[in-house]
Amino acid sequence: MSIYFSKIIKAGDRQREFNFTQVTNNPESGYAVDVPDDRGERIYFHLFRNDNGQWTTPSEGLPPWIYGATTAFSAAIEEHKSERATVRV
């Protein structure tokens, strides 16, 4: 079973739709994320937990506006997990 959700997040100077796909059935293993850039081309990257338990991106190779939205990615994942837990009750 694949878990997928999308979230509008302000990244850089504009709102962008980020699509999150859970890599495995274990949400702690990470998420594949894609988002269109300013030209409409998709950027793909992976979110994983760092040693401090925070969701983070690869350390290089992505536009600065993605790195600036890392905190919002964590919030989006936690919000989605909370919504799923509420639905299951």
Question: How would DSSP label each residue in the chain?
Answer: ---EEEEEEEETTEEEEEEEEESSS-GGG-EEEEEE-TTS-EEEEEEEE-TTS-EE--SSSS-HHHHTTHHHHHHHHHHHHHHHHHHH-
pLDDT band at 86 (very low <50, low <70, confident <90, very high): confident
One-letter identity of residue 81: K
pTM of the model: 0.84
Amino acid at 36: P
| Average pLDDT of the residues in 54-70 | 90
**How confident is the model over 81-85, as a mean pLDDT?**
80
pLDDT tens, position by position, 2-56: 689 999 999 999 999 999 998 776 656 789 999 999 999 999 999 998 888 888 9
**In the prediction, which pLDDT does 52 show?**
84
* Average pLDDT of the residues in 54-60: 86
Q: Which two tokens stand for residue 19?
A: 């699509």
As a whole number of angstroms, the longest Cα–Cα distance in the chain is 42
Q: Say yes or no to pLDDT of 88 above 80.
A: no
Q: Bridge-partner residues for 47, per DSSP?
A: 31
Comparing CA positions, the residue from 27, 14, 13 lying closest to residue 76 is 27
In the predicted model, is pLDDT for residue 87 greater than 90? no
